[in-house]
């Protein structure tokens, strides 16, 4: 039988799944906002402590969703919104998919609001594998949650179901990019059913990436150009200092592996296969690092599919 998914398991030597907390709908720490949605999950499986404090403190939360296959502009907007809103203490909720979701999570990890990732599989399944590093960081600094028992594979039908949890945890949903028929629109529909506000980031009119947000904007969704638009919708004032525009992080802030990839590219522009060969790092690690370096505006991917160091 053909292998449908690339997955990894995190099973401890005793045969159990490590560090998973189970939360039943009758438990005091179960989020009240999820109790109020249609078909609330009877059980939540959780790694990371943010959801429990989120439940107790009733933090403000914003869901940021969009396409797996997205533009550099879309990734940048998702990361900026995730970071800026997290700096205001807002928790960012998304689905740990490639593209927009991952960018929003990475941005949110830079602020005190943190991030919650909602999976369409069991917590012992790392999917997609390219987000393994991100998965670990969210467990350490936020929460990874699912309604699916350990061992559940990421079947396609699981993802529309998990989208109701993303919207249920969120005060509003932002769609950054997405095709005309996309999971982002499913999440937006759940939000509307739950009485939540839906907002969208506009994009280029001549690209399929922007069909979903433009459809929502035509239907009356709120326009998002900056985080200030979202704060106003939530009735919040900005408490953060103005962001420095275009500053490049110092190399000292990078991990050893990130520095290795950056220095390899500083010598010569390379595609991902060349980077893997020259660094000796595993494919999924290089893929994650490239996303991080792009979000930090240290590198950029050119039309020739090669990565270049930003000048």
Strand blocks (E) in the chain: 21-24, 43-47, 61-65, 91-94, 115-118, 143-146, 172-175, 197-200, 222-223, 299-301, 307-309
297: left (phi over 0), alpha (psi -120 to 50) or beta: left
> What does the pLDDT look like over 23-50, one tens digit per residue?
999 998 899 999 999 999 999 999 998 9
Q: Is cis: bond before 143, omega within 30 of 0?
A: no
* Residue 55: predicted pLDDT: 67
* Residue 303: predicted pLDDT: 65
> What does the pLDDT look like over 242-277, one tens digit per residue?
444 444 445 667 888 888 898 888 878 889 999 998
Pick the CATH number of 251-309 from 1.10.10.10, 1.10.3720.10, 3.40.50.2000, 1.20.950.20: 1.10.10.10
Domain boundaries of the chain, sorted by first residue:
21-234, 251-309
* Residue 122: predicted pLDDT: 95
Q: Which fold has domain 21-234?
A: Rossmann fold (3.40.50)
* Residue 143: predicted pLDDT: 96
| Torsion over CA: 117, 123, 127, 131 (sign) | positive
Low-confidence ranges of the chain (pLDDT < 50): 1-17, 241-249
**CA geometry: angle at 145 spanning 140 and 150, to 5°?**
105
């Amino acid at each position: 039988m053909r292998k449908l998914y690339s997955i990894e398991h995190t099973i401890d030597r005793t045969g159990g799944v490590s560090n998973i907390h189970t939360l039943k709908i009758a438990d005091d720490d179960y989020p009240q906002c999820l109790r109020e949605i249609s078909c609330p999950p009877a059980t939540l499986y959780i790694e990371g402590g943010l959801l429990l404090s989120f439940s107790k403190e009733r933090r403000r939360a914003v869901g940021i969703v969009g396409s797996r296959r997205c533009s550099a502009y879309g990734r940048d907007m998702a990361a900026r919104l995730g970071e800026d809103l997290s700096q205001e203490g807002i928790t960012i909720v998304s689905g740990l998919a490639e593209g927009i979701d991952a960018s929003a999570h990475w941005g949110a990890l830079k602020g005190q609001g943190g991030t919650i990732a909602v999976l369409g599989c069991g917590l012992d399944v790392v999917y997609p594998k390219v987000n393994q590093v991100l998965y670990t960081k969210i467990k350490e600094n936020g929460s990874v949650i699912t309604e699916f028992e350990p061992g559940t594979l990421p079947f396609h039908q699981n993802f529309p179901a998990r989208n109701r949890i993303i919207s249920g945890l969120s005060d509003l949903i932002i769609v950054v990019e997405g095709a005309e028929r996309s999971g982002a629109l499913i999440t937006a529909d759940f939000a509307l059913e739950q009485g939540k506000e839906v907002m969208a980031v506009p994009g280029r009119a001549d690209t399929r990436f922007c069909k979903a947000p433009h459809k929502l904007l035509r239907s009356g969704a709120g326009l998002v150009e900056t985080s200030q638009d979202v704060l106003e919708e939530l009735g919040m004032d900005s408490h953060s200092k103005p962001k420095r525009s275009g500053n490049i992080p110092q190399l000292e802030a990078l991990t050893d592996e990130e520095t290795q990839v950056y220095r390899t590219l500083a010598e010569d522009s390379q595609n991902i296969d060349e980077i893997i060969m020259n660094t000796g790092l595993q494919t999924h690690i290089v893929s994650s690092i490239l996303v991080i370096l792009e979000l930090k505006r240290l590198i950029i991917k050119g039309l020739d599919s090669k990565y270049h160091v930003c000048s």
